[in-house]
């Protein structure tokens, strides 16, 4: 008996083509999804970020980044720890008890110049927050208004070291201003109680504390507006981490950059994320004021169109000059900006 194959119709050919296409598409989807599942299942790197101080406005972006999943998306399980001063955090990062630090970068530079294995991977505050400030009702708005007034300072801190330069640049003689000394709380009390007209403080810190304590508006006169500008807060890391795990550093800085950008767009959301994580971080309304003031410090004219953390090396160089002249840095250890700050890990 003869055997005959069933004739193939045009409809059968069309069906086979359709079936082949569907199978190919399914295979592509399988391959596309597989890496995503693998990434999701992969254990995240535990990372500790130690801050420079107790929580206040400028720290909010890191909480926003964590809440939005920017760090998780980079395979990072982020723990944020409060600090007890930039110097203490620098020691913790040098000792590898914290993965990254968020501190005053000039403090790190002084430590690194003396041999600490530290480097900054990005500077967030490129305009100095250093200010002389008082209640707006005193009508002290520009440097010349300071003449004849009483200013509360903390001897030996970074602001008191820059104060003589601020006076010189603004043609004010030291004897034209009366000085009272005390620690941070004493300075605040002196202005609140009327024993001093002004204090030296950070625009997004002490200004907010004065406003919180009294309900009165505060007018800061920023050092940077008179040409006395040092780089300030930024991320630091142990130099060993930069060579041993550069990929982690890149992922961390990528997430932190996104966090800062999100905070620029919505300071309110950043503050809410921080308060959600720590309800005792402060008063929402004044934290938002502080966050907006913090965002204003993210860029200089040179970096206006750059993403956060990407500081101009000229700014770093100028800060080194100020440290040598007024910050007690040994000229022989000054080095170059690239010795202390790298942009290689930024997105």
Across residues 264-290, what is the average pLDDT?
Answer: 95
Is the pLDDT higher at 163 or at 11? 163
Give bridge partners of residue 281 from the DSSP assignment. Answer: none
**What pLDDT does residue 339 have?**
98
| C-alpha to C-alpha distance for 337 and 317, rounded to whole angstroms | 5
Across residues 322-341, what is the average pLDDT?
Answer: 92
Across residues 172-189, what is the average pLDDT?
Answer: 95
| C-alpha to C-alpha distance for 198 and 212, rounded to whole angstroms | 16
Residue 24's pLDDT band (cuts 50, 70, 90): low
pLDDT digits (tens, 9 = 90+) for 87-145: 999 999 999 999 999 999 999 999 999 999 999 999 999 999 999 999 999 999 999 99
**What pLDDT does residue 11 have?**
53
C-alpha distances in Å from residue 28, one per residue of 24, 39, 316: 6, 18, 49
Whole-prediction pTM: 0.81
Across residues 57-69, what is the average pLDDT?
Answer: 97
**What pLDDT does residue 36 have?**
41
**What pLDDT does residue 269 have?**
98
Across residues 272-282, what is the average pLDDT?
Answer: 96
Question: Which contacts qualify for 202-206: CB closer than 8 Å, 24 or more apart?
Answer: 202/129, 202/130, 202/131, 203/129, 203/130, 203/131, 203/133, 203/293, 203/297, 204/56, 204/57, 204/58, 204/129, 204/290, 204/291, 204/293, 204/294, 204/297, 205/56, 205/57, 205/58, 205/129, 205/290, 206/133
C-alpha distances in Å from residue 242, one per residue of 51, 86, 100, 116, 236: 19, 20, 11, 14, 10
Across residues 266-284, what is the average pLDDT?
Answer: 96
């Amino acid at each position: 008996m003869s055997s005959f194959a069933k004739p193939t119709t045009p409809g059968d050919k069309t069906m086979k083509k359709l079936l082949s296409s569907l199978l190919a598409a399914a295979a592509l989807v399988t391959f596309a999804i597989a890496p995503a599942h693998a990434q999701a299942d992969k254990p995240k790197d535990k990372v500790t970020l130690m801050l420079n101080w107790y929580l206040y406005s400028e720290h909010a972006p890191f909480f926003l980044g964590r809440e939005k999943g920017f760090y998780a998306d980079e395979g990072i399980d982020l723990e944020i720890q409060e600090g007890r001063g930039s110097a203490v955090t620098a020691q913790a990062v040098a000792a590898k008890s914290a993965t990254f630090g968020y501190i005053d970068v000039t403090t790190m530079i002084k430590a690194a110049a003396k041999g600490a294995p530290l480097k900054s991977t990005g500077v967030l505050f490129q305009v100095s927050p250093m200010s002389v400030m008082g209640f707006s009702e005193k009508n002290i708005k520009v440097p010349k208004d300071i003449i004849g007034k009483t200013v509360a300072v903390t001897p030996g801190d970074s602001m008191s070291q820059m104060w003589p330069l601020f006076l010189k640049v603004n043609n004010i003689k030291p004897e034209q201003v009366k000085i009272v000394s005390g620690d941070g709380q004493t300075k605040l009390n002196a202005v609140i109680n009327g024993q001093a007209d002004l204090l030296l403080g950070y625009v997004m810190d002490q200004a907010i504390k004065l406003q919180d304590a009294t309900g009165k508006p505060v007018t800061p006169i920023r050092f940077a507006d008179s040409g006395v500008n040092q780089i300030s807060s930024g991320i630091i890391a142990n130099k060993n981490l930069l060579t041993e795990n550069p990929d982690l550093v890149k992922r961390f800085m990528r997430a932190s950059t996104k966090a800062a950008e999100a905070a620029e767009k919505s300071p309110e959301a950043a503050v809410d994320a921080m308060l959600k994580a720590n309800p005792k971080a402060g008063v929402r309304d004044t934290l938002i004021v502080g966050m907006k003031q913090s965002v204003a410090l993210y860029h200089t004219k040179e970096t206006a169109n750059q993403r956060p953390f990407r500081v101009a090396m000229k700014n770093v160089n100028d800060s080194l000059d100020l440290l040598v002249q007024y910050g007690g840095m040994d000229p022989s250890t000054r080095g170059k900006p690239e010795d202390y700050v790298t942009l290689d890990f930024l997105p």
